[in-house]
Amino acid sequence: MSIQKTNKPRTLVCGKPKVFLILTISLFALIFFSINLVSAIGVSYPIPQNIELKPSQSSYFTFQIQTDEYPVTCVPLVEETSGLELAFNQQYLVEANQRYNVKAQVIVPKQTAFGEYQATFCMECTPSGETEGSRIIPRVCKLPITVDVVSDRSRENRFEQEAANYVIVWITLLVLSILVLVLIIFYLIRRRRARTWL
């Protein structure tokens, strides 16, 4: 009696591990590519948060833009004004690895009724220079400015005193400059007269 051996084909289960390996590598590559392509910048909340003004008055507020390892150009975009007016520069050029302080202005129109108003704005930044177009920077929005419009002011807003001090310094310097100029002219006149007498 003879025994016949049957050679069964061997099945190599290697399809699933290969697919899993390819998917894992692709996922890591996608994450790495996204990190390098999509970058974020830091934009702080404006200060002061609450400003008190009368109709027709204005005040300043400030916020900070913090960049990464590349320069950016940032453009302010007003979302909601609630009847207020916001005044910015057209754009802000921020160098790499820099904390850039932006000083903007909020204005209360003359016919504004008393009450609390809130305006919001965005900062849209794009890479500039050699990195232009190479990265995607998400827009930073819902940056708020709250203004309490009143008939009588109860306090000074931040930066108003600084602005007043700035004006006082400039006036003082102007007066001193004029005084020095007058003294120089007086000295030159006396010197010329002294030479004439000689």
> What are the pLDDT digits (tens) for 113-161?
999 999 999 999 988 876 655 567 888 999 999 999 999 888 888 776 5
CA distance 38 to 125: 12
CA distance 54 to 56: 6
CA distance 7 to 5: 6
Strands 72-80 and 50-53: unpaired
CB 63 within 8 A of CB 31: no
CA distance 87 to 181: 38
- Structural domains of the chain ordered from first start: 42-149 (2.60.40.10)
Residue 87 confidence class, pLDDT cut points 50, 70, 90? very high
Q: Is the pLDDT of residue 12 over 60?
A: no
Residue 34 confidence class, pLDDT cut points 50, 70, 90? very low
Main-chain phi, psi angles of 4, to 5 degrees: -100, 130
Q: Is the pLDDT of residue 168 over 50?
A: yes
CA distance 137 to 127: 8
SS3 (DSSP) at 187: helix
Question: What pLDDT score does 25 carry?
Answer: 60
